[in-house]
Amino acid sequence: MDAHEKLKKVETSTLEAAIAKVVSDATGWKYTCNIAEIEYGELGRAQLKLTLETSEWLNVSVKQD
């Protein structure tokens, strides 16, 4: 199986969950990811249009000690 076909076999929901986890781990806030568009190119390449979103900022306390 060539690289192009392997890339197409990755489930979008699995990729969204993985991206959200990496960003959440890096920032400390819970994020969700939504892939809106995937354009497959040559040699196992893909261009993604995605949205990362969090509502954690609503939980941030503005109270100072």
At 6 the pLDDT is: 84
pTM of the model: 0.75
pLDDT higher than 90, residue 24: yes
Which residues lie below 8 Å from residue 16, measured CB to CB, with a gap of 6+?
A: 32, 33, 34, 35, 50
21 has which bridge partners?
none
DSSP annotation of 44: T
pLDDT band at 64 (very low <50, low <70, confident <90, very high): very low
The most distant pair of C-alpha atoms in the chain lies apart, rounded to whole Å, by 59
Query: What tokens appear for 19 in the block?
Result: 């991206």
Convert the pLDDT of each residue in 42-54 to its tens digit: 888 899 999 999 9
At 60 the pLDDT is: 62
pLDDT higher than 90, residue 7: no
